[in-house]
Chains A and B, each alone.
Chain A
Amino acid sequence: MVLNVNGIKREVTVDPDVALLTVLRDYLDLTGSKYGCGEGVCGACTVLINGNAERSCIIPVGNAANKEITTIEGLEKDGKLHAVQEAFLATDAFQCSYCASGMIMMATALLKRNNNPTEDSIIKAMNQNICRCGAHPYILKAIMLATKP
């Protein structure tokens, strides 16, 4: 099957019921998306599919074929970080950073929908992602920073 990942068409030989996350990590060596829970409730595996934030750990890869998939590796363009990444960098927001790519992808999808969200709507959207180090206040700060032009 052909997957369109980060603007590149990639051919993979895999059963369509294997989780998208597994294919990204084990077959395409895109390990920026992480495994955290396996049931779509921690957000560590978040990727964009056709621009929407999705949980790649519970999506069969067959459902993602012929769609535009963006992973954390696809945010940086020509050595230039995405504005959301820049905001996280400026905030020094993470500790262990295992949740980082999921948080950044989730925030990217949120800001794509609404580039000037209220703090309440950020909290509501980000509530689906878990950070165990308790960096939440900094993550919110980074997203607020990314909303500014």
Chain B
Amino acid sequence: MDSSDYSSLSFEPNVDELPPKSNYDFALDRRKFFKITGGGLIVVFVVKDLFAFSNQNPAEAVSSEPAGVESWIHIGEDETVSVFTGKVEVGQNIRTSLSQIVAEELMVPVMSIKMIMGDTDLVPYDAGTYGSLTTPQMGTQLRKASAAARQGLLDMAAKKWNTKATGLRTEKGMVLNVVTNEKISYGTLTKGQQLMFAISDNVQVIAAKDWQVAGKSLPKVDQRNFITGKHTYVSDMKLPGMLYGKVLRAPSYGAKLIDADLTQAKNMSGVIVVKDGDFIGVAAPDVKSATKALQSINAKWEEKNDHPSNANIFDYLVKNVSGDTGRRNSGTTNGDFERGLAAADIKHAATYNIHYIAHVPLEPRAAVAEWVNDKLTVWAGTQRPFGVQEELAGTFRLDKQRVRVMMPDTGSGYGGKHSGEAAIEAARLAKEAKKPVKLVWTREEEFVWAYFRPGGVIEVNAGVNKDGTISAWKFINYNSGGAGLKTQYRAANQQVAHVGSNSPLRQGSYRGLATTANVFARECHMEDLARLIKMDPLAFRIKNLEDERLITVLKSAAQNFGWNVSKAKDHGHGIACGFEKGGYVATCAEIKVNGDKEIKVVRITQAFECGAIINPHHLEHQVIGSIVQALGGALFEAVEFANGKIINAGLSSYRVPRFSDIPKIEIVLIDRKDLPSSGAGEAAIIGCAPAIRNAIMDATGKALNTLPMLPNGILA
């Protein structure tokens, strides 16, 4: 095994982009499905265009095995509706919202739904839970599959009763004959059958305005398990005979292992020691023995000595361009920027800097691995079970069928758990030990050896006319990603580009990663342009916007905040807006400057719109959670590093938002029942930093153009 390179692997070269669609061909095996589920009715959603339909029926019984299944639903004889999906629960509450969608269309009680998520042996391939895709893609599929299943059940009942399906209706898991008052439960109807329907994309679904179950604030489906400590996270698991693993880490990034004396560790009773390439790990019957064994290892490393630090990182990123511009949103040029700038009444250029930050999921990476007869089973806290399966198959040179990855609901991710380091490490140790091994990263390991939201530099140069029209707009982003790069404002002559840099730190996905940076730079710059032409920042934005959804959230946030209401002395108001992955957001912030120049965020009003709302309470959770998380990156979170080491690799030194940091938060949710539902995990994070920065500008005239803005809380 060559284990030397996986920890330094840059997992996603284009940090904010999605991995390409896999060519994985999930062969649908009827016998396998029914072996898992027992008899009943199975409805599979088949990727559009991959399955040819012979007629216009939305649901069609099939005997052959279509490929390209993305999700499936089973209705069992015991009335349980099992939903099989590769999406995973990391706290965003999709276990609840997807259940609501299925319950709505299938007309069954939510309690009868069992979500089987992220188990590579049981669910169809899914690239991962990221990019706010669960609601628009998986939600839509399950909605259609459920609607088709309901239609199929009506047809079955009609046949049984020798009548027409149009005279029947469904309710609470039953088919009713309104004329004869006969009724039959779904389970009884499907009993003894092994029926499979494949469904097309054009099935009729219930309009959002008529929703009875979706659209309501149902509580988290298995909430009681979580508040009683009963839910088993991966880090809580224990298998018979299980050992606890630990891995020897390099003293700094890029260090090469020269030599290691393992004698002492190997002589410890019950301890397994593995050295394989640069990988050294131990496993022992308890954590203390594993730690002692690890500490006894005397390793010599050759360290690199040309590391940049967070003190010179912005200069470094601009000077070390990688030439990678990203696959999407890499840039655009319209008109003639130089001429547009020359013609402008007022010109303004500024540079915006973004520090690296860490996800800090409260549950660090954890995995339990077990080998049985050359089949590897790994439980891992990950947003990409199939990605981890591929990593494991590649690392151990196994056929993917021999690797099963399971993902019990995990202690959050925020884009930070796409990779399978702990899974690979646990699997390597378990292979040697011939026993199950659990490996839970320490907080320090999570800080140092996971990956970060990239740092970046954004240079903006713009020309504006006194009437509020933008005549020139140049926007160059170094290393902060391409999503949200293009301006939503009318601007006559544009030059926009994203350029990747050779990052000294391992970087990867993060909630709203690139859009957070791009919206920060853009909305700060818009603020300053408005001030230069003495125009109200809200009016300046609305004047240059075209997108009605954006204008609506902007007006709504401003109105609820009281944008035009006069403010107290030493207070400032700021506003910002943007959109990301189908979510539209506008944020107003009020800050207060205390006598000692300490800045306090007093209140935030945020309007948010993402189409038809599936669960208002859980949506509000996402929006508030995004604001709270945004506060950290906006005000004080930053990874400090030098000499290839992370300096603040602990929660006592890396500051995350706490209760006393939370301002008064007011959320305005706009429910567009006429529009498809979009994901909400990311867009709500983008408005906070620029709104606060603009409020500080309003109160003090100072432009804080580097994130985080106030690492010490005090205005310099």
Give the complex CA separation of A66 and B253 in angstroms: 45
Task: Select one of A35, A73, A89 contacting B440, CB under 8 A.
Answer: A35
Q: How far is the CB of B293 from chain A (nearest CB, A)?
A: 15
Interface string of A70-96 (1 = CB under 8 A from B): 011101100001000100110010111
On chain B, the residues within 8 Å of A42 by CB distance are 362, 651
Give the complex CA separation of A69 and B361 in angstroms: 27
Which chain A residue has the least Cβ–Cβ distance from B226?
A97
Chain B residues 193 to 223 lying within 8 A of chain A, measured CB to CB, are 217, 219-220, 223
Best-buried of A37, A104, A132, A135 by chain B (most CB within 10 Å) = A132
Interface string of A113-138 (1 = CB under 8 A from B): 00000000011101101111111111
Contact B659 A126 (CB under 8 A): yes
With A22-B287, A99-B362 as contacts: A38 and B442 at CB distance below 8 Å: yes
Contact A26 B244 (CB under 8 A): yes
Q: How far is the CB of A84 from chain B (nearest CB, A)?
A: 9
Contact A94 B232 (CB under 8 A): no
On chain B, the residues within 8 Å of A85 by CB distance are 227-228
On chain B, the residues within 8 Å of A35 by CB distance are 235, 364, 440
On chain A, the residues within 8 Å of B624 by CB distance are 134-135, 137-138
Give the complex CA separation of A28 and B362 in angstroms: 22
Query: Does B251 have its Cβ within 8 Å of any Cβ on chain A?
Result: no
Give the complex CA separation of A126 and B226 in angstroms: 19
Query: Does B700 have its Cβ within 8 Å of any Cβ on chain A?
Result: no
Contact B650 A37 (CB under 8 A): yes
Contact A97 B227 (CB under 8 A): yes
Query: Does A44 have its Cβ within 8 Å of any Cβ on chain B?
Result: yes
Contact A72 B412 (CB under 8 A): no
Query: Does A101 have its Cβ within 8 Å of any Cβ on chain B?
Result: yes
Contact B657 A134 (CB under 8 A): yes
On chain A, the residues within 8 Å of B379 by CB distance are none
Give the complex CA separation of A109 and B99 in angstroms: 36
Contact B443 A97 (CB under 8 A): no
On chain B, the residues within 8 Å of A137 by CB distance are 624, 662, 665
On chain B, the residues within 8 Å of A138 by CB distance are 621, 624
Give the complex CA separation of A122 and B658 in angstroms: 12
On chain A, the residues within 8 Å of B652 by CB distance are 37, 39, 41
Chain A residues 20 to 45 lying within 8 A of chain B, measured CB to CB, are 22, 25-26, 29-39, 41-42, 44
The number of residues on chain B lying at the interface, defined by a beta carbon within 8 Å of a beta carbon of chain A, is 57
On chain A, the residues within 8 Å of B621 by CB distance are 95, 133, 135, 138
Query: Does B626 have its Cβ within 8 Å of any Cβ on chain A?
Result: yes
Chain B residues 222 to 261 lying within 8 A of chain A, measured CB to CB, are 223-224, 226-233, 235-236, 238, 244
Contact A132 B659 (CB under 8 A): no
Q: How far is the CB of A30 from chain B (nearest CB, A)?
A: 8
Which chain A residue has the least Cβ–Cβ distance from B242?
A26
Give the complex CA separation of A132 and B629 in angstroms: 7
On chain B, the residues within 8 Å of A104 by CB distance are 227
On chain A, the residues within 8 Å of B230 by CB distance are 32
Contact B228 A134 (CB under 8 A): no
Contact A100 B657 (CB under 8 A): no
On chain B, the residues within 8 Å of A139 by CB distance are 659
With A38-B443, A100-B226 as contacts: A134 and B288 at CB distance below 8 Å: no
Query: Does A1 have its Cβ within 8 Å of any Cβ on chain B?
Result: no
Contact A29 B228 (CB under 8 A): no
Which chain A residue has the least Cβ–Cβ distance from B615?
A92
Interface string of B24-57 (1 = CB under 8 A from A): 0000000000000000000000000000000000
Which chain B residue has the least Cβ–Cβ distance from A136?
B662
Task: Select one of A97, A126, A132, A135 contacting B414, CB under 8 A.
Answer: A132
Query: Does B606 have its Cβ within 8 Å of any Cβ on chain A?
Result: no
Chain B residues 649 to 686 lying within 8 A of chain A, measured CB to CB, are 650-652, 656-660, 662, 665
Which chain B residue has the least Cβ–Cβ distance from A76?
B228
Interface string of B332-370 (1 = CB under 8 A from A): 000000000000000000000000000011111000000
The A contact surface, by secondary structure, is: loop
With A130-B651, A132-B629 as contacts: A88 and B662 at CB distance below 8 Å: no
Query: Does A15 have its Cβ within 8 Å of any Cβ on chain B?
Result: yes
Which chain B residue has the least Cβ–Cβ distance from A40?
B652
Query: Does B93 have its Cβ within 8 Å of any Cβ on chain A?
Result: yes
Contact B662 A101 (CB under 8 A): no
Contact B362 A134 (CB under 8 A): no
On chain B, the residues within 8 Å of A34 by CB distance are 233, 235, 362-363, 411
On chain A, the residues within 8 Å of B223 by CB distance are 89, 92, 94, 97
Q: How far is the CB of A119 from chain B (nearest CB, A)?
A: 10
Contact B238 A131 (CB under 8 A): no
Contact B229 A31 (CB under 8 A): yes
Task: Select one of B91, B228, B238, B244 contacting A73, CB under 8 A.
Answer: B228
With A32-B228, A132-B414 as contacts: A44 and B659 at CB distance below 8 Å: no
On chain A, the residues within 8 Å of B90 by CB distance are 96
Query: Does A140 have its Cβ within 8 Å of any Cβ on chain B?
Result: yes
Query: Does B593 have its Cβ within 8 Å of any Cβ on chain A?
Result: no
Task: Select one of B219, B361, B444, B628 contacting A134, CB under 8 A.
Answer: B628
Query: Does B625 have its Cβ within 8 Å of any Cβ on chain A?
Result: yes
With A34-B235, A35-B235, A95-B621 as contacts: A81 and B228 at CB distance below 8 Å: yes
Query: Does B645 have its Cβ within 8 Å of any Cβ on chain A?
Result: no
Chain B residues 125 to 169 lying within 8 A of chain A, measured CB to CB, are none
Contact A37 B440 (CB under 8 A): no
Query: Does B575 have its Cβ within 8 Å of any Cβ on chain A?
Result: no
Task: Select one of A39, A71, A95, A130 contacting B91, CB under 8 A.
Answer: A95
Give the complex CA separation of A94 and B222 in angstroms: 12
Best-buried of B219, B227, B628, B658 by chain A (most CB within 10 Å) = B227
Chain B residues 392 to 411 lying within 8 A of chain A, measured CB to CB, are 409-411
Which chain B residue has the least Cβ–Cβ distance from A44?
B362
On chain B, the residues within 8 Å of A38 by CB distance are 442-444, 650
Chain B residues 608 to 646 lying within 8 A of chain A, measured CB to CB, are 617-618, 621, 624-629
Give the complex CA separation of A75 and B658 in angstroms: 25
On chain A, the residues within 8 Å of B233 by CB distance are 31, 34, 98
Query: Does B92 have its Cβ within 8 Å of any Cβ on chain A?
Result: yes
On chain A, the residues within 8 Å of B226 by CB distance are 94, 97, 100
Which chain A residue has the least Cβ–Cβ distance from B228?
A76
Give the complex CA separation of A100 and B231 in angstroms: 11
Query: Does A8 have its Cβ within 8 Å of any Cβ on chain B?
Result: no
Which chain B residue has the least Cβ–Cβ distance from A103?
B227
Contact B656 A96 (CB under 8 A): no
Contact A95 B93 (CB under 8 A): yes
Q: Apart from A34-B233, A34-B235, A101-B229, what are 19 other A-B pairs with CB-CB below 8 Å?
A: A31-B229, A31-B232, A31-B238, A32-B228, A34-B411, A39-B651, A73-B228, A95-B92, A95-B625, A96-B363, A98-B363, A123-B659, A123-B660, A127-B658, A127-B659, A133-B91, A134-B627, A135-B621, A135-B625
28 chain-A/chain-B pairs, Cβ below 8 angstroms = A15-B288, A18-B288, A32-B228, A34-B363, A35-B440, A37-B651, A41-B650, A85-B227, A85-B228, A89-B224, A92-B220, A92-B223, A94-B223, A95-B92, A96-B90, A96-B411, A97-B91, A97-B220, A100-B226, A122-B659, A130-B651, A131-B362, A133-B625, A134-B625, A134-B626, A134-B627, A134-B628, A136-B662
Report, nearest first, the 6 A-B pairs whose CB atoms are least far apart.
Answer: A32-B229, A96-B91, A134-B628, A98-B411, A134-B625, A97-B226
Q: Give the B-binding residues of A (Cβ under 8 A).
A: 15, 18, 22, 25-26, 29-39, 41-42, 44, 71-73, 75-76, 81, 85, 88-89, 92, 94-101, 104, 122-124, 126-127, 129-140
